[in-house]
Amino acid sequence: MLRIYFLQHWFALSDPATEAALYDTPAMRCFAQIDLGQEPVPDASTRCKFRHLLEENNLGATLFDAVAVYLEENGMQVSKGTMVDATIINAPTATKNKSKTRDLDRHQTKKGKPWYFGMKAHIGVDSKTKLIHSVAATPAHVHDSQVLGDLLHGEETRLWGDSAYAGQQSVLKDNDPKVKDYTQVKGSRHRKLTEQDKAKNRHKSKVRAKVEHVFHIM
């Protein structure tokens, strides 16, 4: 059931689509260790009960950490460079629920001109493999830089991020003084970016942009 749970998340499958994929795809059945000659694919209600069991016991973070350790032990996580970024997760603002209130874990924030309501997902990603090694969730109005410490594993040698993470040397020093800061240089009305600053930012963006691939998949 745990292997099926991972497959469903990795391939973004609904319960019916998961069942169909397991019947149609030998590689998925092999990974899930299902032998159709011995047993059928677990039905949708069984998978739903299993997910609820994981949630009730708060096992999501434990499983995430276990997978990260497995990937590192098998050489799939280099863990030398970390890219950080955050994305807003929209949520309904309605109060049509039992408590007649909004979820206190959600908040409104402004990005550009539009306003959003919901939460924010912050991730730390290996700069070579693009595998996520750390995750944090906050209300949407929490600034990206406030969660930086939670996204570092302490052994990276380089940090890549947009200008929202600029000026966080104290956080980097607390995690590992040897980390080189490759976050985007931030300009202001009192300090315009020089041509050299812009050139450095363009170079950094070529690496940092890979974190957007992760959000695209999510």
Q: Is 153 left (phi over 0), alpha (psi -120 to 50) or beta?
A: alpha
Domain presence at residue 68: no
Residue 140 contacts residue 109 (beta carbons within 8 Å): yes
Residues 180, 145 share a domain:
yes
CATH of the domain at 130: 3.30.420
Residues 168, 108 share a domain:
yes
SS3 content of the chain, % helix, strand, coil (to 5): 45, 20, 40
Per-residue confidence (pLDDT) for residue 13, from 0 to 100 = 87
Backbone angles phi, psi at 139, to 5 degrees: -60, 155
Domain presence at residue 111: yes
pLDDT less than 50: residues of the chain: none
Kindly report the pTM of this predicted structure: 0.71
Per-residue confidence (pLDDT) for residue 29, from 0 to 100 = 95
Closest CA to 204 of 127, 124, 131: 127
Residues 148, 203 share a domain:
yes
Backbone angles phi, psi at 115, to 5 degrees: -100, 145
Per-residue confidence (pLDDT) for residue 176, from 0 to 100 = 74
Per-residue confidence (pLDDT) for residue 138, from 0 to 100 = 93
Residues 87, 53 share a domain:
no
Residue 166 contacts residue 148 (beta carbons within 8 Å): no
Residues 89, 52 share a domain:
no
Domain count along the chain: 2
Count of beta carbons in the 10 Å neighbourhood of residue 206: 9
Q: Which domain holds residue 29?
A: 2-57
Domain presence at residue 40: yes
Residue 120 contacts residue 106 (beta carbons within 8 Å): no
Domain presence at residue 63: no
Residues 138, 37 share a domain:
no
Per-residue confidence (pLDDT) for residue 94, from 0 to 100 = 67
Residues 108, 27 share a domain:
no
Domain presence at residue 20: yes
